[in-house]
Structure 1
Amino acid sequence: MRKPSKAVAIGANGLSRRQLVGAAAGAAAVAAGAAFLPKKVFAQKKVTVKYTLGWLPEGANIWSYAAKQFWAKSGIDVVIEKGTGSAAATQAIAQGKYEFGIPAAPNSIQQAVKGLPLLSLGCFNYDTTMGVAVRPEGPIKAPADLKGKKVGSTLTSGEYPFLPAFLKNVGLTMKDIQSVALDNKVREVALIDKQCDAITCFIASALPKLMAAGVNPRVFLYSKYGLPFYAHSLTTTPEFFAKEKALCEAMTMGLSEGVKFALLNPSETIEILFKEVPELKLASTAKEQLEIGMGVWAANYCSKTPMEKGVGFAEPAVYAKMTELILENASAPGDKKPDPNALFTNEFVGKLKLTDAEWAKAKAASSKYALG
């Protein structure tokens, strides 16, 4: 069994496991619209944990910073570190370098088929926004119109392995398009400068750059064409979950509160990020890009599953589908299919629900960023 890293106050601050008091904040189910009242779950000294983003601080993961106030109320000091991609984040979590992280669910599944031990505690972004972007004034009005067109892709980018499956679902094959390999630094530029008719990308990441250049693209999300992929999922290891269940629950519920706060208070959430990562404010377009990224995330989050089943709930059928898609399109010889139900748990999620009025507010605030 892995020993806790020095980042955990269990070792660093002399807090023994026996001193952890009670279950995590708000363990009882809460009626729709009722806010959690976080208790100080951990007695005497704060518990400190390390938490990795899947990528740099941005609008799509900004709610992690909004959650810090709720984690603090439960007695948890969370050190958030930037990531360099979800694949690296999942590997670091599995190796015990971080107690928690927020990588994309497909990357966790990709690592799970290679044997790494990973467990999702909740879904906090219901769409990776993998897909195809085209210029709005161009002739490509539907996916079938990609036939014969130049489609630029970064071959190492996470959406590229699923391009053949997307094309198959819309009645095309890779032979029907002109596939163009692009460096990730020039991918969006290729669409802006009309060097390509379309690009594949994570739309939420590409959109700020495209819109800054005056291109508000037409997009075809993979998720709208039979390829559902959850994005950010609170992730730990099964071993840490079994040993530190109260901490896992408090982290999950605090992040759920952070999501609710971000949905209802987007401007305040951006200011929280600027205080936490002040260097971001130096860029003249930082606020605009954060608003776009956050708006896309919020528009995606206002979807059927969290609205009906509560913040963070993961549909078992989606995990089963993601697992099959990854095995078919992004696996290597020797990879083995994991039990999809062992990749996630809904034990701590679904308790926090927004009222109809709150969902309506969040939808209205993000409607102009809705994709697909």
Structure 2
Amino acid sequence: MDVHRNFAQVAIVENGQVSQHGRFAMDRVAVLKFAETLTKKDDVVLEATGNTAAIVRLLEPFAHRVVIANPLQVRAIAWAKVKTDKIDAATLARQHAAQFLPEVWMPTEEVCERRRVIAERTQLVSQMTRLKNRIHSILHANLMPQETGRIFSAKGRAILEGLPLALDQMRMALRHHDEIQRLAAELALIDQDVARHALDDPEVRRLMTIGGVNVVVAASVLAAIGDIKRFSSSQRLVAYLGLNPSVHQSGDRPAYHGHITHQGNGHARSMLVEAAWVIGMGPGPLSAFFHRISLKRGQPVAAVATARKLAVLVWHMLTKEQDYTWVRPALLQYKLRALELISGRPSRRGGKTPGPARDYSIKPVRDAERDRVREAEKAYENFVASWKEQPPVKRNPPVKGESL
């Protein structure tokens, strides 16, 4: 099936012969009518598009298997000189029949829902940031940069109304401010939903044992990963998230490693980078790694390298079902209690028995945890202190007459 927005072109390969089945409209009734023509011996192939999940779930009960092709890797279609819908559909069928089709994993309905919630939250945060920047630009244009830190507080609208702004600018700023408050209310509902699911998800709690990883980072990464078992190694997960460096090598020249590939889920990758920045500000072996790379390559490169290290760590933790070794228990309980309050659970203030999250408010307990991870940080620094940079080995060309 060569799927488009309004229709799908169908080609059939049977016993090596290609026949065209025509096209049908992209609506539920037409898809189900096409599904009734399938048997449990038929394989259906289509490229990944925005409506792929709906098509797959409608066709799966009728077909033997529904295969999703990776559109970035189906080069026979992308490089074709003669390209039509019929040819594209036939090419997909031939490649699958020859078992040469790069497939894409189909996430479950639970994973799809998790991804939609994270995408909705990301969009709301982006809209709020854009509106805040517009208000900042109005205040800076009127020489009031000192007011930008107060107008988004509880009394921010009253402060904004008291500023000496032109009538049109005041109207614009107040409209943006009201829209921010509306979006903030929607964001609070989404965060409440994310918190409720996170409290019942052991994998989210496990990733939160890493310092610098909060519920948003953990939920975003898990939504992108789906089933960790589909990654046979940590390097495959790193490549899926686009955190592996690009490699260029040809002939007898040494390999050149460039920027990261930026493939895969960009939001999960950015969440890991944000977590890396937070980790760099606290103690621990990951912080020591961040600062070691930053001295050589700068902090932006160090943040990306630490994000890659985090992806490797996430794979091992999820695969082996183990928490982070250098977890800070009081900090973890504090984060979990914050999740409970966001999810809507009642406050326990004034109770006779304090909860475990109270330990993080006790300075000796907090300092003892930081001292423990600082010991791991010093151990890492001592371990890499003797490392020396080795220049790449240059191979001399063979002398004429010598065997290679």
Q: Provide TM-score, normalisation by structure 1.
A: 0.23
Structure possessing the higher radius of gyration over alpha carbons: 2
Please report the TM-score for the alignment, with normalisation by the length of structure 2.
0.21
Higher relative contact order (Cα pairs below 8 Å, separated by 6+ residues) = 1
